[in-house]
Amino acid sequence: MEKNPNQYNGDVLVVPKKGNTTKQVYIESYGCQMNFADSEVVAAILSDEGYQTVGEPQDADLILLNTCSIREKAEQTVRNRLVHLKTYKKNNTALKVGVLGCMAERLKHKFLEEEKIVDIVVGPDAYKDLPNLLTEAEANREAVNVLLSKEETYGDIAPVRLQSNGVTAFVSITRGCDNMCTFCVVPFTRGRERSRDPKSILAEIQQLADQGFKEITLLGQNVDSYLWYGGGLKKDFTKASSLQQQTAIDFAQLLALVAEAQPKMRIRFSTSNPQDMSIDVLHTMAKYNNICKYIHLPVQSGNNRILKKMNRLHTREEYMELIDNVRNIIPNCGLSHDMIAGFPTETEEEHQDTLSLMDYVKYDFGFMFAYSERPGTLAARKFEDDIPEATKKRRLNEIIALQQQHSAHRTQQFIGTTPTVLIEKSSRKSAEHWSGRTTQNTVVVFPKENYNVGDFVQVKIVDATAATLIGKPLGLSDEI
Ligand code: SAH
Ligand code: F3S
């Protein structure tokens, strides 16, 4: 995952013009990859209504913000953006502004009261209702739908690929989360966990392959708990018929199905959860060379008391054992983490446990955050947010500094090797260089020569920073 999954990256989404379109929508996405994937579903639903997606808000009849609630800062970013959008509404009184995603779900009707600029509020499971809500908004009636669903997976909608490089794409396989980590707002904003029909997953990937895509990332809050037995919630699996139980498909099986169906495509997935990641998944990764050797495995803390208070259902020792298994079964596997600094009551010693766990794993990279209390979560209701901001920040900085060291250590190990790199785009720093990734998800830049976006190239690594490998292309690669 090259993109911090939780930070606005400023992407503006654009779809090519369709025939007979009369209206224009501008969509801005914040937060996790799932939100970016959802915006592609929203673009598809609106395209059927005659909306064309545009790259600038000033041209739009409809502005949609697909929002994130994961930390307070993410919500503040959206609120600031709404203030900014006021000028567009002044210049175009017919303009409608909608908020989608987790903030819409969390704040519901309150959004209309708090942010006068907002006309439409739609939660993550209600996007199919957008056409009706637009009609309501146009008649100046309240347009809010934040119903969560136990079934909706949008499996029947072919997403419109937005701002695509034509090489990599996201494919949702589950929605929602049942884990109830005490700090996390996602189970409240995205509802119960449900899995998507493997047939529709395979069909979407086939379509991407036909369009020339080379890499897909299977997305879910917790991909390891994927379970398809004919529909319904995972928790109801015990009530399924015996035939349904016998023919059920778990994540390891789904991975194998996708890998076999698309031997020429790279397959990634995110996010893995240590409590659910099975040895079967590791063996499946090892078996298929087109499944990328990279796992994003958030741990949040290295201390058992804090892990328990977070309702993470594994211990430090179990996590380390899982890491040992990864190292044994998939040598050279790239690993990344999410970490939270300053969870309520965390002591200095407990913070040191986080640092020592990081030393044990030596992750390739990580996403690191200061604890942010989220209204309605168990942590907010039960635990005082008692770690001073300055302490949180200092601990976070220590975590980040250690990760920098580990990242540099990992990238140094690549020097002299000749990995296969899938070219994704021009390097941000130099128009003469391509940027792509190794199977471990490490970014590589190298001179463009005669290679093209979408090529698999064997690259000799000659230098490295903590975040990027610098290489020389040796030729097209037979491997992927
Ligand atoms: N399973 C999800 C996790 C989503 S949240 C996934 O697909 O990645 C992403 C990360 O945000 C979490 O792993 C956690 O490290 C961080 N996070 C969540 N809630 C937080 C909070 N209240 N304060 C700080 N960080 C938080
Ligand atoms: Fe959040 Fe934990 Fe689920 S971090 S998304 S409740 S796995």
pLDDT in tens, the chain (480 residues): 333 333 333 344 444 444 455 899 999 999 999 999 999 999 999 999 999 999 899 889 999 999 999 999 999 999 999 999 999 999 999 999 999 999 999 999 999 999 999 999 999 999 999 999 999 999 999 999 999 999 999 999 999 999 899 999 999 999 999 999 999 999 999 999 999 999 999 999 999 999 999 999 999 999 999 999 988 788 888 888 888 988 999 999 999 999 999 999 999 999 999 999 999 999 999 999 999 999 999 999 999 999 999 999 999 999 999 999 999 999 999 999 999 999 999 999 999 999 999 999 999 999 999 999 999 999 999 999 999 999 999 999 999 999 999 999 999 999 999 999 999 999 999 999 999 999 999 999 999 999 999 999 999 999 999 999 999 999 999 999
Q: Catalogue the long-range contacts made by 110-116 (C-beta closer than 8 Å, 24 or more residues apart).
A: 111/144, 112/142, 112/144, 115/79, 115/82
Report the residue among 6, 102, 106, 184 best suited for mutation to probe ligand 2: largest number of ligand atoms under 8 A from its CB. Answer: 184
Neighbouring-strand partners of residue 12: 28
**How far does the centroid of ligand 2 lie from the alpha carbon of residue 417, in Å?**
36
Question: Which residue puts its alpha carbon closest to atom 2 of ligand 2?
Answer: 181
Compute the distance between CA of residue 63 and CA of residue 85 in angstroms, rounded to an integer: 9
The C-alpha atoms of residue 312 and residue 308 are separated, in whole angstroms, by 6
Which of 443, 411, 409 is closest to 429 using CA atoms?
443
Q: What pLDDT does residue 10 have?
A: 37
The 8-class DSSP code of residue 55 comes to: S
SS3 154: coil
| pLDDT given for residue 9 in this prediction | 37
> How far is the C-alpha of 143 from the C-alpha of 178, rounded, in Å?
28
Residues having CB closer than 6 A to ligand 2 are: 177, 179-181, 184, 186-187, 221-222, 273
Ligand 1 centroid to 474 CA: how many Å? Answer: 40
Cα gap 263→295, rounded to integer Å:
20
Q: Which among 63, 150, 74, 133 is positioned nearest to 99, based on CA atoms?
A: 63
Q: Residue with structure tokens 């397959």?
A: 267
Which numbered ligand comes closest to the C-alpha of 180? 2
Could you give the angle at the alpha carbon of 417 between the alpha carbons of 415 and 420, nearest 5°?
120
Return the ∠ at Cα 175 (arms to 173 and 179), rounded to 5°: 115
From the CA of 183, the nearest ligand is: 1
Has domain 7-145 been given CATH number 3.40.1190.20?
no
Tokens linked to 321: 């054992």
| Alpha carbon nearest to ligand 2 atom 1, residue | 184
pLDDT at 4: 36
Question: How do the domains of the chain map onto residue ranges?
Answer: 7-145, 168-412, 420-476
Q: What pLDDT shows up at residue 62?
A: 97
Residue 22: the pLDDT is 82
- The CATH number of 420-476 is which of 3.40.50.620, 1.10.3720.10, 3.65.10.10, 2.40.50.140? 2.40.50.140
Nearest partner of 457 among 427, 441, 429, 435, judged by Cα: 435
Nearest CA to ligand 2 atom 7: 179
Which of 150, 452, 131, 182 minimizes the C-alpha distance to 312?
182
pLDDT, position 163: 86
Which one, of 60, 72, 69, 71, lies nearest residue 98 by Cα?
A: 60
Closest approach atom of ligand 2 to CA 187: 6
Residues 6+ apart with CB under 8 A from 478: none
Ligand number, closest to the Cα atom of 172: 1
For the Cβ of 221 lying below 6 angstroms from any atom of ligand 1, the answer is: yes
Cα separation, 422 vs 354, in Å, equals: 34
Show Cβ contacts of residue 10 under 8 Å, excluding neighbours closer than 6 positions. Answer: none
Length of the chain: 480
Q: Which fold has domain 168-412?
A: pyruvate-formate lyase- activating enzyme (3.80.30)
Contacts of 178 (CB under 8 A, 6+ apart): 187, 192, 193, 222, 225, 233, 234, 235
- d(C-alpha 105, C-alpha 389), whole Å: 28
Ligand nearest to the backbone CA of 219: 1
Distance CA 95, CA 89 (A): 6
Does residue 97 have its Cβ closer than 6 Å to ligand 1? no
Q: Which atom of ligand 2 is nearest to the CA of 311?
A: 2
DSSP 3-state of 426: strand
The residue whose CA is least distant from atom 1 of ligand 1 is 221
HSE at residue 269, side-chain half, CA atoms within 13 A, is 29
Global pTM? Answer: 0.94
Residue to mutate (ligand 1; options 7, 36, 183; most atoms within 8 A of CB): 183
Strands 365-370 and 334-341: parallel
Of the candidates 300, 436, 268, the residue with the CA atom closest to the CA atom of residue 366: 300
Q: What is the DSSP letter of 122?
A: E
Which residue from 102, 174, 186 has its CB within 8 A of the most atoms of ligand 2, so it is best to mutate? 186
Ligand showing the shortest atom-to-Cα distance for residue 218: 1
Nearest CA to ligand 1 atom 6: 221
Cβ–ligand 1 distance for 271 under 6 Å, the answer: yes
Ligand 2 pocket: which of 33, 34, 177 to mutate (most atoms within 8 A of CB): 177
